[in-house]
Amino acid sequence: MSPEAALTLRLMKIVANNESLMQDLETARSLRLPQCYIAAGYIRNLVWDYLHGFGNRSLHDDIDVVYYDPANCGEGRDRELEYLLRSATGNAKWSVKNQARMHLRNGTSQYLSTEDAIKRWPETVTSIGARLNDDNELELCHPNGLSDLFRLEVRKSPYFEDRSHYLERVRKKRWQEHWPMITIYE
């Protein structure tokens, strides 16, 4: 088994053993959105908490649901989906973004898929998503790999070009206050 495959299995076990995330994955799947994942900080923070031995602290500002639907790119659709999720769960942390339009906000070329968008997020440790497929199997999307996540190393994604934005973002996040074992690379 390759090292990346071993890390994938490890992440799948961590996700599968988190009851809250699994419920949220079921809720996100119920929307039936194309190429839909729960991604970013929810997954990253769960792993960092696990590696620090903190248990489940739920230190995420939002539940990022990302999908890819070029036929319905209106921002209003995302607001409707957020409303549905918030109403169904009573949780105000849901954030939904159609990655087929996010290139406009980010000033980049058009993304070709959810995975293409995720790989271009600022940090490798954030460019990770999870979903449940129709067979109730867990699937992961981690186009920048999982090594940095499990080594507790924060790096700029090789596909994210704005170094100053990356540096400002990691400074504002103050991750080392919550997870002292991480190392941030500039």
Find the mean pLDDT for residues 32-36.
97
pLDDT at 156 over 90: yes
- Res 122: pLDDT: 96
* 186/67: higher pLDDT: 67
Find the mean pLDDT for residues 18-27.
96
- Res 78: pLDDT: 97
What's the pTM value of the predicted model, to 2 decimals?
Answer: 0.94
Nearest to 144 by CA among 130, 155, 131: 155
Q: What is the DSSP string of 40-99?
A: THHHHHHHHHHHHT-------S-EEEEE--TT---HHHHHHHHHHHHHHH--TTEEEEET
Residue 59: band (very low, low, confident or very high) from pLDDT cuts 50, 70, 90: low
Nearest to 93 by CA among 131, 123, 60: 60
